[in-house]
Structures are given as C-alpha cells and as structure tokens.
Structure 1
C-alpha cells in the first residue's frame, strides 16, 4: 500500500482545505512530520485512518466525545477527507464525509445531513476515474479485503505507536497476549479453548444426568418391587453403577413373576365361588320379583273397581265438550269484537278529554275539519321562523365582535408596552455579544498558558517524587553493595577454611584395605579428623548461593538507581527549579483566567440567539399592532349593518309570535293542537266501527249455539274445555283403559301365577352369600392385578434402564475424549509439559517470528550489541508465558527487556514495531506496506544511536518503502530534509511542504 495524496477539509484543527502530497514526501524515502503541540500532527494520521476505515484510531475516539468537524470551519463548509492510494496494484480514491449540522437553505437553524462515502478507481485504459461504490459497508469491506488488515491492525502496523511498544517490552505475558491477540486475530483459538471447555462441561453434565436418571429408574424399580429385594447403596459416578443396577433389576423381576403366579391361582378359585353365589342370588331375586308382581296386580284391580263411577263421569264430560267445540269459533269472534270495542271506546274518551269544551262535543267529521284549519295556520309561520333564526345569528355575531374587540385591545396594549423597551434590550444584548467575542479571542492564548503551567506543575511533582525515589534507590544500591561484599567475603572465608580441612573430608571416605584416592596406600595409620569449626561442601555451596543472590540484588538495585537518575534528570529539565507551590499558584491563576474567559466566551452564541429572537419578536409585535388597528376599523362598519338588519327582523317576528312570546312557541302550540284533533277524529271513527262489529258477532253466536243443541250461548261456553283441561281429561281416560289392560295381562301370566303358589323367596341370605364371595374375589383380583402391574412396571423400567445404559456408554467415551482435549488446550493436563494454553502457544509462535524479524534491525541499531529472543519459561500459576528477553553481546547474558534504558527501550521498541509490521503484513497475505509512520520517541537517543536508527529507517527504501517520522526533536529537522510542517494560528491549522520538489 502506497499513499499518494491526502486532502483534508474542515477536519480536526484544519478549518479550510489542506492538501498533502505523499508522492513528493516519499521521493526521499524518509520524511519528517513536525509542528508545535496541538497543531494537528496526529490529526493527519487520523485523517488517513478515517479515509480508509471510516473511524479514527480507537485510543483517540473512545470516551472523549471526539468531534471530527473543525471548530474553525465556516458554517457552510462540509467536513471531508479524500485519500488517493495504490493497493494491490489498483489506484483508488476514497472520499468520506461524516454527518454534520449545516445551515438550513430556508429560514433559520440547522439540519443534519447523513454521512457519505465514495470509492473510485483509476482506469488506465480510459485514463479516467470510474465510480465503484457509495455504500459505507461495501467500501469498508473492499478496503479491509484489499489491505488484509482490520483497523486495529492498520493502526498498530502502519501508524507505529512507539509508546505502545515500549509498554509491550515491559509488559507481562497477559498484556502481551492481549496486543498480539488483537493483531493476529487469535480469537478462534481462544474460541476453540472455550468451546472445548463448554463441551467438557456439557459432556460431564450429560454423564451425571445419565447416572442420575439411571439411579432414578433404580429407585422407581425399588418402589415398584416393594420391600422384597433391597437396593444397594449407589451414587452418580460410582464405578460399576450400570452393572449393579441391571443385576438388581433382574433379581427384582424374577421375584415379581413368582408372586404373579401365586396370585393368579388364588383369583381363579375365587372366581368359581363367586359365580355360584351370583347364580343362586339371581334365582332368588327372580322368584321374589314374580311373587311381588302378582300381588301388586291384585291390589291394582281392586282399586280400579272402587273408582268406576268417576270414570263414567269423565266419559260424559268429554262427550259434551266435543259438541261445544263447534260453537268455539263464534265465541272467539264475539270476544274479540267486544275487546276491540272496549279499547276503541277508551281511546275516544281519552282523546276527547284532551280537547277544549267546544271541540270535545264534535263528531268524527267535525274533529277532522278543525284539525285541517289548525294545520293551515301552522304552515303560515315558516317565514317568521327563518326570520327568528336569523335574528339569533345576528346576536351571536355581535357578541363575537365584542370578544374580538376586547382581545385586540389587550394585544395592542401588550405590543405597545413591549416595543417601548426595545432600544434598551437591543443595546444590552449587543454589549454582551461584544464582550463574549473579545473573551473568545483570549481563550486560545490562555489555554496555551494553562496547558504549559499544568505540564510544568506535573513535571515538578514528578521531579520531587523521583528525587525521593532516587535517594531511596541510592540507599538501597549502597546497602546491596555492602551486603554483596559481605557475602563475597563470607564465601571466600568458608572456601579457604574448607580447603584447610579438605584432608578430614578425604579421610572420612577411607576404608581398611581400600586404596587412598590421594596416595594409593591401602593402610591408613593416622587419618585426619574433623575439628569443631570444619566447613563441608554444603556450607560452601550455601555461601556461594548467598553471594550470587546478593550480586543479583546489587545489579538490580544499581539498575533501578540508574533508571531513577535518568528519569529524574528528564523531569528536572522539564520542570525547572521552581517549587511545586509556586508552579501550583501559577497553574491555578492560569486556570482561573482561562475559566473566566471561557465562561464569558461561552455566552456568545446564547447572546446572539437571544438578540435574533428579540428581533423576530420586535417584528411580530409591530405587525400585530398594525393588524389590530385594521381589524378595529372593519368592526365599526360591520356593527352598523347588523343593527339595521336586526330592527327589521324584530318587527316581523313580533307580529308572527303574537301572545306566545316567540314564533317557535306559537308553532309548538299549533303542532300540539293539530296532533290532538287528528288523534280524536281517528278514535271516534274507530269506536263507531267496533260497535257495529260487536252487534254482528252476537247474532252469529246465538245461531251456532242453537244448532249444536245448547239452549243458550252461555251453556255452550260452560261445556267448552280449554286445551289443557281437554288434554288432562283425555289422559285420565286413556290411563284408566291402559291400567285395566295391564292388570288383566299380569294375572293371566302362567309363571307369575305359579310363583305366587310357591313359598316366599329368601333374597337377603342369597345377597349376603354373594357379597362375601365377591369380596373374596375382589381381594384376589386386586392382589393379582398388583402383581401384574409390578411385573409390567419392572419390565418397563428395566428396559428403560437398559436403554439408558446403552445410551450412556458413548456419552462416557465422549466425555473422556473431550475432557482430555479440553485440559490439554487449557494447559492443565499432565500431557501438556509447559502448561501452555492453545492461544498462548499460537501467540508464542507469532512472537518468536516477531522477535526474529525485529532482531535484524535491533542488531544494526545497537551496533550488534542487542538481540531479541522469545522465552517460553513458566510464569504465573506455573504456565508458560509470552516472555521476551534481550541478549546483551557485551556480557553474554540474557536479561528481561524491562532492564533496558530509555533510549535502548526506544530503538528496541522501534525494531519490534518494524518486525511486527513485517509479520502482520505476511499474515495479511503479503500486501506491501510502502508507507509507514513512526510516532514520537527519538528524543531519548544520543547522536550516534540516532544516526544508526535513521540508517535503519533509511534502509527501508530497499523494499521501496517510505517512512514518515512524527517528532519534536530539533536535530531531526537538520538530518531529514523532506518535511511536512503543521502550523497553527487563530483561524485553524495549515500544512507546509519543505525540502520537496
């Protein structure tokens, strides 16, 4: 990947459009990006990352409320970043515009435009750019696929953050693992570990669940088997659990089948005895029933003979009712006519009672004529009703005009009161705006002073703390040197004493007849003896170990002392000689001045908005006052027209209303009179008609009664039965006939007569014998059914347990296999000798590659002194970590990278960053990274080391790379000719190319 051109508009500190020609800067292979603090050097790198991935580096966008838009940009200028680059042989142009609040095209205020992105590719054949996509997602996927790196990898590999790698050198294995895991995306290996652990827990749960289910089946079988076969004590996970359960189940099934055979034989015998008892009971019940049937039939025949007279009366009553049925239609017709005439007479009386005396005496024809006259008078009131409705509307309109006049008067008074204070309000707001603008001009200057004072105060506090640490480190180093000297003297003394008494040690190993190891003699007449202060080999080795530990402690304390002195010197250079109290007072004063200016400047926008709103309110009030005056003039002419029309309508309404008070009341009176007269006329006609129908019905009834054989209609009516009485009488007659036939049939049965001649049946004794036999059978059947259920339940549970055992066997095998894999990948297995997790193993291989790649450049930067090596020694909790050591060729010793000095840490971290870039590039598919940026850190190098580091960076041109150095070091401006300078002022930052063609 090679960068060609970057255009930045309204982004970060850049208020207008700034263009950066990377082709010109990269021509020299090495270029410098420098400028004062806060000018925007980092914003240039942010713009590159934002153009490619649509987001700035994670460390600068998280949690700080970062806004991409420049505060120096004009309101109408949109934020935009355009980057032209070549990647994978394709020349692309990426343009991104974040969302922004632009001024509305109409009216005031702002509206938010959505983010936009463009991706174009240069067509060499057509010599023109062609559009590829405008989708954020598609562009992001295309760039990520071409580069082969995520945003985190790009920011770590292309924008080399030296501070991160310095921490990486001193970090523990866990912190190194997190960084390497993000860069090489080893989440899949961690997911494998996690997945295997989950599978192990799931398999273990399945096995335990299977054991628990098998034991539950065993307990259910024990409940089904009863107390005959005791279940052995078992628990989930016991060895031989399945075999024990199946063996016990077979024994329980055998016992249950023996019980079933015994209870089956007992039930068969009980069934035979119960059948004989039921047969005897049936015979006794049948004889008793026949005897009872004969006796009941004789009693029923006697009761029928006693009620024979009543039966004859019912027959005569039924005959008269049948004759009266021919007169029933005439009776119904006469009753209906009488009821209708009575209702019509009552209605006529009610209608006439509602009329005045002269009208109540009229017949039906006179009443109808009076109703027509009243209706004609009612029709003449329609015109007067319309005039009355118009008069009501005029009154409503007059009241509306009164309300409008009151509202306009109030609005006019309010507007005049507000406008009287307008000049004072406008002058006050303009004064606030002027004061806020003047304060805004001082904020940036005061911010610089505040930042500088704060930095010096922090440095002074750090200086004082480091001074104490340096003194303590010096004391510890002195004490360690003294202890090391004492341990060395002790060891030398013990060694010398042991050499003096070495003869006693050799004599201790002599045996009679065995040759001496020194002289070879087999006789030992006077072997040396150990004295009370003899020093043996173990004491000498303990003294030597103490001496070595003291030496290591001395070296460590002296290294810490050296580091403390270097850090203290840097802090003193930054803080100066002023005390913390003096610097704190200066910082506090700068903070107060900055806060006062910022608070005053923050009121600029509210004051402008308030002035704008006040101007709008002034225009609204002035307009409202003019409109109120126009409406008042229009109301005067409208009132005159309404008064004239109202006088004319009032005269017409008074004439039509008469004494009723209103036209509506008079119309209501006439409506009621028409309704009453019409109702009375209709009632009179209906009463005359019903009287005539009643007379005709009386004549027809008399004729029908005579033909049916009755002397009077009243006699026919008395003989007539209603439907319910007729059905009841018929039922009595039919029931009597049926009873007589049934009694005769029962008395004629031969079996019944023969049973009546036999002795009375003893049903109770037969029932007691049958009940006792039934109880014996029930007990035998219950015992047999319980035994059958026990056998069936045991068979079912045994089959279920057998199936569970077969299903559990592969689960146990799976659990054992998964558990071995899970403990192996988690580093807890005995087979994993280094106790290294799978992800750590992969990261260790990557770190070994990074260390090898970094060593090539580190050896050159350190003049062949240092080499980076990976170490997989065990660290915390006994597991192998991601160790990183440096081999010092001057001493031949391997030590931890945390022991490097500040300058050594810088070029070691730079070598590590470049090596990591090479490995990640190869991991990404071999995509060439032709443009790199290296962050601050060169100030800790001496001149010779700086030259060596620059030579290494300059050698990157051998792979056609260009390197941009972001630094404040003044000496670099002399050594690196191609420069991109970032300048800042009150109107925003700008860039300037220096030393390029």
Structure 2
C-alpha cells in the first residue's frame, strides 16, 4: 500500500481545506511530520485511518460522527476526507463525509445530513476515474479485503503507536495476549478452548445426571423390596456405584421370587377352603328357601278358603253382565236418538226466538218462503252498496289530499326557518376553518422550532456537565504535572548522587591483576569505597521508570483534558451563553404552544366536514321546498273533481237506504232477516225428523230386553258393566284361579315337602363361615399380588438400571477424553507441564516470530548490544508462553523488557513495532506496505542512538518503503529534510509541506 495524496476539509483542527502530497514527501524515503503540541499532527493520521475504515484509531473513537467536524469550519462547509492510494496494484480514491448538521435551506435552524462514502478507481487505459461504489458496507469490505488487515491491525502495523509498544514491553502476559489476539485473530483458538470447556461441563453434567438416575432407581428398588435389600451409602460420582447397585438388585430380586412362591402356595390353600365354605353355604340357603316356600304355600291356601263367598258373588255378577251385553246396542241407539231429539228441539226454540212475532206459528215451509223473499230484496241493493263504498273512498281520498297539503306546508315552513339562519351558520363554520388553518400554520412553525430548541437544550446540559468535568480533569492534569516534576527532580537527584559515587561503583568491579577500565593500571592501591548513601544503577533506573510513568500519566491526563475542552467548546458553540434552566423553560413553553396549536388545528377537518354537510343540507331543503310547492298546485283541480262526484252519489243513496242509516245498514238488516228465517226453517225440519227416530228406538229397546231375559230395559241397563269394571272383575277372577293353581303346585313338589319335614337350618352360622374363608382368601391373594408387583417392579427397575449402566459406560469414556482435552487446552492439566493455554501457545509462536524479526533491526539500533528473545517461563497465576526478554551482550545477562530505560524502551519498542509490521504483513497474505508512520518517542534518545535509529529507518527504503516520523523533537528538523509542518492558529491549523 502506497499513499499518494490526502485532502482534508473541516476535519479535526483543520478549518479550511488542506492537502498532503505523499508522493513528494516519500521521494526522500524518510519525512517528518512535526508541529507544536495540540496542532493536529495525530489528526493527519486519523484522517488516513478514517478514509480507509470510516473510523479513527481505538483510543480516539470518542471523536466519531459529528465530533470529527472542525470547530473552526464555516457553517456551510461540510467535513470531507479524500485519500488517493495504490493497493494490490490498483489506484483507488476514497472519499468519506461524516454526518453533519447543516443550516436549513429555508427557514432557521439546522438539519442532519447522513454520512456518505465514494470509492473510485483509476483506469490507466481510459485515463480517467470510474465510480465503483457509494455503499459504506461495500467500500469497507473492499478496502479490508485489499489490505488484508482490520482497522486494529492497520493502526498497529502502519500507524506505529510507540506508546502502545512501550506498554507492550512492560505488560504482563494477559495484556500481551489481548493485543496479539487482536492482531493475529486467534479468537478461533479461544473458541476451541471455550467449546471444549463447555463440552466438558455438558458431559460431566450428563454423567452426574446418569449417576443420579441410577442411584434414584436403586432407592426405588430398596423401597419396593422393603427390608430385603440393603444399599450401602453411595453418592453420584462414586467409582463402585454401578456394581453396588446391580449386586443389591440381584439379591433383592432373588428374595422377592422366594416370597412370591410362598404367597402362591398360601393362596391355593385359601382358595380350597373358601370353595368348601361356599358349597356348604349354598346348600344351607337352598334348604332354607324350600322350607320358606312350603310355609308360604300353606298360608296362601288358608287365605283362599277365607275369601270363597266373595268369589262366588263375583262369578254371578260376571254372568249377568254377559247377558246384558246383548241389550247394549239397543240402549246406545235409544240414548243417541234421545240426545239428538233434545238438541233439535232446543235449536228450533232458539231460532224461533230471534224471529218477529208474525213468524211464531209458521211451519218449516212458511219460514223457507219468507227467507226467499228477503234474499230477493237484498239483491236489488247491490248497486247502491257499490255507490256507498265509492262515496266512502271519495271521503278518504279527500282527507288524504288535505293531509298531504298540511305535510307540504310543514315542509315549506321548516325549510324557510332553516334557510333563514343559513348565512349565519356558514359564516360561523368558515370562521372555525380559518382559526384551525391558522393554528395549523402555527403548529408547523412551532414544530420547526422544537428540534433546534431541544438540541440547544441538550447542548446546554452537556455544556454544564462538561464544564464540571473540565474542572475535575484540569485538577487531575495539574496533579499529574506536579507528580512529573517531583519524579523528574527525584530522578535527577538520584542520578547526581550516582555520578558522585561512580568511582566506588567502578572500583567494585576491579580485580587484582586486571587492568582498570579508566586508567588501564593493573595495580589498585586505593580503590574508592561506597559510602552509606551510595546509589547504584538499579536505583537510578527505578527513579527513571517512575519519572516515565508519571510523564505517561500526565500525557494521558493532558490528552483527556484537551478532549474534554474541545467537547466543551463544541457544546458552548451550540448552546451559547443562555442558562440551562432558561432554555428548559423556553423549550417547555414551546412544547406547550405547539400542543395547543396542534389541538386547535385538529378542528380543521371536523369544521370542513360540518360546512360540507351544512351546504348539502341547504341544497336538500331548497329542493324539498320547491317540490312541495309543485305538489300543492296540482292538488287543487283534484279536489274539485272529487266534490262533484260526491254530490251525485249522495242523491242516489238517499232513495236506496230508506229508513236505515245507510245502504250498508239496510243490506245488513236484510241479510240478518234472511239468515234467521233460513236457520229457523232448517231447525224445524230437524226437530220433526229427530222425534220420528226417538220413537223407533224405544220400540227396538223393549224388544231386545225381553229377548235377553230382563223384565224391563232398566234392569238390563243396571246389569251392564263398563270396560274398566269388566276388566277389574275379570282380573280378580283370573288372579283367584292362578293363585289356587300355584298353591296346589307348590304343595305337590317332592323336594319342598321333603325339606319341610327336616329340622330348620342355621343359615347365619354358614354365612359366618363363608365370610371368614373369603377373608382368608382375600388376604392370601393380596399377599401374592404384592409379591408379584414387588417382583415385577424389581425386574423393571433392575432392567432400567442395567440399561443406565450400559449407557453410562461410553458417556464416562467421552467425559474422560473431553476432560483431558479441555485441561490440556486450558493449561490446567498435569500433562501440560508449562500450563500454557492453546491460544497462548499459538500467540507464543507468533511472538517468537515477532521477536526474531525485531532483533534484526534492534542489533543495528543498539550497536549489537540487545537481542529480543521469546520466553515461555511461567508468570502470574502459573501460566506461561508470552514472556519477552532482552539479552544484553555487554553483561551476557537475560532480563525482562520492563527493566529497560526510557531511550532503550523506545528503540526496542520501535524494533518490535517494525518486526510486528513484517509478521502481520506476512500473515495478511503478503500485502506490500510502502508507507509507514511512527508516532513520537524520539525525544528520549541521545544523539548516537538517534543516528542509529534513523539509519535503521532509512534502511527501510531498501524495501521501497517511505517512513513518516511524527515528532516535535527540534533536532529531527535538521536531520530529516522532507517535512510536513502543522501550524496552529486561532482560526484553526494549516499544513505546510517541504520536499527534499
């Protein structure tokens, strides 16, 4: 990857558009990015990272989105970053615009524009740029695939953060593991450890669950077997659990089968005794039944003899009733004729009572003739009846016309009354619509003001919070600065004391006969001696380390203070000087006004609908009024025609109705007279015919009674029985006959007579004996059933336990295998001698490669003194694999990298960073990295070491790389000619570029 050009607009501290020509800077191979503290050197690197990945490095991710925008930019200028680079042989141009709040084009306030991304590629054949994508996701995937590195890896191998690698040298194994894990993506090995641990827990739980089920089955077998099974004290996980359970189950099954055999024999004996008792009870019951049967038969014979006279009377009554049945038809005929004669006579008397007196003595023929005369007169009134009905119709039609006239008059009056208030109603509704429209306009205005006001209130609250945070952060920065001064003063005092006693320190190394390292003499007559306050090298290095830690803490506090101050400035620019409570009151008032306007505007639709309905009602009522006027005009001529027809009909009806009130009344009078005469004639004829039939029935009845042997017809009638009495008497006679036959049959039975001659039987004793035998059988059967259930339950539980044991065997083997693998991967197994986790093992191999690559450059930087080596010694918590030591060729000793001095730490961490860049590049698939940046750390080097380091960096050009040094060290400006200077000003920072 080679950078060609970077364009910035309104990004970070750069308010105006800025450009960086990396091709010009990279021509010398080594270029310097310098400027005062806070000018924006790191922001240039942030812009490169943002263009590639859409986000800035991890420690500065709080500046994403709207916070990336420069506070010095003009309101209408949008933040934009454009990067021109070559990667994997392709010339690409990436442009990114973060989201920003721009002024609205119409009205006041701001609106939020979304982030945008463009990716273009240069076509050398066409000599022009072509668009590839405008999707954030597609551009991000394309860049990541081409570079072969994530954002974290890119920030470690291209933007070399020296502070991170200095901490890496002093970090423990866990911290190193986290960093290396992000760079080399060893999460899959951690997932393997996790999966093995989860599988171990799962199989262990299944084994314990199986043991628990087996132990539960053993307790169930013990409960089923009662006292026949003894189970030792066992718990899930015990080695001999399965064997103990199966052995105890076998003993319990054998005992249960013996108990079942004994219970079966007892039941057979009880069944034989119970059968004998049941036979004896059956014989006793049969004898008792026969004796009772004989006694009951004798009692029934005695009762029959007592009722013999009543039986003879009943037989005589039945004989007379059968003789009277021959006279019954004549009696029924005479009763029917008599009833018919009485009805006919009553009907004739009733019909004659309704006739005038002149018809009292008329016969049936005279009454019929008078009825015919009345019917003929009624036929002559038919025409007059039609005229009378027509007259009634005319009256109804005339009344209907009057009713219609009144209804139309009411319609006209109601329409006139409603239309009289129409103008006032329309004006009121139009006023309501105007008020609602005005409220809707106000609601839109308030809605447009709500978002800026709420955003300003949020900024004011953030401003207040940041103001408090600024005070706290400034106080922490002041204390950190004081600690830096104290630590530096302490280090200088310790260094001065050591230099004062350096002679004693050198004398301590003198050996008799060996030349002095200072003067070369082999005799040492008066070597200097250490006084009580002597300070050695280790004490000086500890003081220096404390000073460096204080400086790092101060830098972090200063950076945090700068971040908070920038955020406070942004919040103050957004919120202004207005107090928060006043802004909150203004927002609340604006919300209240908006709510009231919105409620008033809600009436717009209802008022419009009501006006539409009122206009429709006006049109309807006007149409009804016109229709009513037309109908009223057409009814006048109809009334005149009806009046003329009515006069003609009334003169005709006067003659037809006579002295009656109406023709209909006259006709009704004639109809009633004809009907009554007809009814009376019919009734007279029916009475004459009924008298003749009654006379004939009396003659037939006398003759039938004489032939049946009765003196009078009344005697025959008294001897008759109705159906109920006849059936009851016959039933009594049949029952008497059946009872006599049954008694004779019982008394003639041989078994019954023989049983009657035997002594009375003792049935209660036989029943007691049978109950006792049945109880003994029930207890024996219950004992056998319990023994059988016990055997079945023990067999079932034993089979289940045996199945569980068979299923547990492979599960135990799986658990043992998985537990061994999980212990090895987690570093907790005794087989893992160095207690090294799987992920740590992989990372240790990577760290060993990084140390080898770093040593190649560290030799040159340290003039062959230092070598980085990987160590797998155990560290905290007994783990190992991620140790990093430095071998000092001057002393021949190997020590931890945390003991390096400040300058040593810098060039060792630089070598480590360059070595890590090479390894990660190879890991990423050999992507060529032609541009590197090294951020700070050169101020801790002396001149000789700085020359060595620059030689190493300059040698990177052998691999056609260009290296950018980010530093404010003044001496580097003389040594590095290609420079990019960041100049800080009140209106924002600007970039000045100088080539070689």
User: Alpha carbons of 1:741 and 1:815: their partners in 2 closer, same or farther (altered >3 Å)?
Assistant: farther
**Partner residue, 1:560:** 542
- 8 Å contact kept, 2:497–2:535: no
**Partner residue, 1:832:** 832
- Secondary structure at the residue paired with 1:836? coil
CA distance in 2, matches of 1:145, 1:110: 38
**1:385 maps to 2:410:** yes
CA distance in 2, matches of 1:980, 1:752: 147
User: Alpha carbons of 1:795 and 1:161: their partners in 2 closer, same or farther (altered >3 Å)?
Assistant: same
CA offset at residue 152 of structure 1? 1.1
TM-score by length of 1: 0.64
Provide, for residues 928-985 of structure 1, a one-character-per-residue CA deviation record: whole Å limited to 9, x for no partner.
2111111122222233322222221111111111112222223333322223334455
User: Alpha carbons of 1:412 and 1:373: their partners in 2 closer, same or farther (altered >3 Å)?
Assistant: closer
User: Alpha carbons of 1:109 and 1:377: their partners in 2 closer, same or farther (altered >3 Å)?
Assistant: farther
User: Alpha carbons of 1:457 and 1:219: their partners in 2 closer, same or farther (altered >3 Å)?
Assistant: closer
- 8 Å contact kept, 2:162–2:935: yes
| 1:881-892 pair list within 5 angstroms | 882-892=882-892
CA offset at residue 247 of structure 1? 1.1
CA distance in 2, matches of 1:286, 1:52: 115
**1:3 maps to 2:21:** no
**1:465 maps to 2:483:** yes
CA offset at residue 116 of structure 1? 3.8
| 1:142-161 pair list within 5 angstroms | 142-161=142-161
CA offset at residue 601 of structure 1? 5.8
CA offset at residue 278 of structure 1? 4.1
- Secondary structure at the residue paired with 2:50? helix
Provide, for residues 868-916 of structure 1, a one-character-per-residue CA deviation record: whole Å limited to 9, x for no partner.
2222222223332522222222333323322322222222211111111
RMSD across aligned C-alpha pairs, in angstroms? 6.3
User: Alpha carbons of 1:483 and 1:776: their partners in 2 closer, same or farther (altered >3 Å)?
Assistant: farther
| 1:28-39 pair list within 5 angstroms | 28-39=28-39
- 8 Å contact kept, 2:24–2:995: no
User: Alpha carbons of 1:23 and 1:595: their partners in 2 closer, same or farther (altered >3 Å)?
Assistant: closer
CA offset at residue 76 of structure 1? 5.3
**1:255 maps to 2:224:** no
| 1:49-198 pair list within 5 angstroms | 49-62=49-62, 67-73=67-73, 77-102=77-102, 111-198=111-198
| 1:402-801 pair list within 5 angstroms | 403=428, 461-462=479-480, 464-466=482-484, 468-469=486-487, 554-563=536-545, 600=576, 744=738, 747=742, 754=749, 758-759=755-756, 766-801=766-801
- 8 Å contact kept, 1:827–1:834: yes
- 8 Å contact kept, 1:456–1:574: no
CA distance in 2, matches of 1:9, 1:732: 131
CA offset at residue 221 of structure 1? 0.6
CA distance in 2, matches of 1:15, 1:321: 137
Provide, for residues 528-555 of structure 1, a one-character-per-residue CA deviation record: whole Å limited to 9, x for no partner.
xxxxxxxxxxxxxxxxxxx99x999954
User: Alpha carbons of 1:75 and 1:63: their partners in 2 closer, same or farther (altered >3 Å)?
Assistant: closer
Provide, for residues 673-724 of structure 1, a one-character-per-residue CA deviation record: whole Å limited to 9, x for no partner.
xxxxxxxxxxx9xx99x999x9999999x999x99x999xxxxxxxxxxxxx
CA distance in 2, matches of 1:92, 1:82: 10
User: Alpha carbons of 1:409 and 1:599: their partners in 2 closer, same or farther (altered >3 Å)?
Assistant: closer
User: Alpha carbons of 1:285 and 1:959: their partners in 2 closer, same or farther (altered >3 Å)?
Assistant: farther
User: Alpha carbons of 1:157 and 1:602: their partners in 2 closer, same or farther (altered >3 Å)?
Assistant: farther
CA distance in 2, matches of 1:697, 1:979: 146
CA offset at residue 817 of structure 1? 2.2
**Partner residue, 2:808:** 808
CA distance in 2, matches of 1:810, 1:796: 23
CA distance in 2, matches of 1:11, 1:573: 23
- 8 Å contact kept, 1:103–1:111: yes
- Secondary structure at the residue paired with 1:227? helix
CA distance in 2, matches of 1:384, 1:808: 104
Provide, for residues 625-678 of structure 1, a one-character-per-residue CA deviation record: whole Å limited to 9, x for no partner.
xxxxxxxxxxxxxxxxx9xx99xx9xx99xx9xxxxxxxxxxxxxxxxxxxxxx
Provide, for residues 153-212 of structure 1, a one-character-per-residue CA deviation record: whole Å limited to 9, x for no partner.
111111111111111112222221211121112222222222222222223222222222
User: Alpha carbons of 1:972 and 1:468: their partners in 2 closer, same or farther (altered >3 Å)?
Assistant: closer
CA distance in 1, matches of 2:835, 2:775: 77
**Partner residue, 1:394:** 419
| 1:172-321 pair list within 5 angstroms | 172-279=172-279, 281=281
- 8 Å contact kept, 2:823–2:829: yes
CA offset at residue 749 of structure 1? 11
- Secondary structure at the residue paired with 2:933? strand
CA distance in 2, matches of 1:12, 1:736: 130
User: Alpha carbons of 1:874 and 1:487: their partners in 2 closer, same or farther (altered >3 Å)?
Assistant: farther
CA offset at residue 750 of structure 1? 6.8
Further displaced range: 393-402 or 595-604: 595-604
CA offset at residue 401 of structure 1? 6.3
CA distance in 2, matches of 1:33, 1:144: 26
- 8 Å contact kept, 2:55–2:64: no
CA distance in 1, matches of 2:989, 2:206: 66
Further displaced range: 920-929 or 15-24: 15-24
CA distance in 2, matches of 1:63, 1:734: 119
Further displaced range: 732-741 or 102-111: 732-741
Of structures 1 and 2, the larger Rg is shown by: 2
- Secondary structure at the residue paired with 2:68? coil
- 8 Å contact kept, 2:827–2:834: yes
CA offset at residue 486 of structure 1? 14
- Secondary structure at the residue paired with 2:770? helix
- Secondary structure at the residue paired with 1:561? helix
Give unpaired runs (5+ residues) of structure 2: 344-387, 443-448, 450-455, 511-528, 598-617, 633-664, 695-722
- Secondary structure at the residue paired with 1:33? strand
Provide, for residues 546-566 of structure 1, a one-character-per-residue CA deviation record: whole Å limited to 9, x for no partner.
x99x99995432322355678
- 8 Å contact kept, 2:491–2:547: no
Provide, for residues 774-793 of structure 1, a one-character-per-residue CA deviation record: whole Å limited to 9, x for no partner.
22221111111111111111
User: Alpha carbons of 1:552 and 1:262: their partners in 2 closer, same or farther (altered >3 Å)?
Assistant: farther
CA distance in 2, matches of 1:574, 1:210: 57
- Secondary structure at the residue paired with 2:993? strand
**Partner residue, 2:351:** none
CA distance in 2, matches of 1:776, 1:847: 90
CA offset at residue 7 of structure 1? 3.4
CA offset at residue 52 of structure 1? 2.3
CA offset at residue 238 of structure 1? 2.5
TM-score by length of 2: 0.64
CA distance in 1, matches of 2:980, 2:506: 59
CA distance in 2, matches of 1:156, 1:732: 128
CA distance in 2, matches of 1:27, 1:65: 34
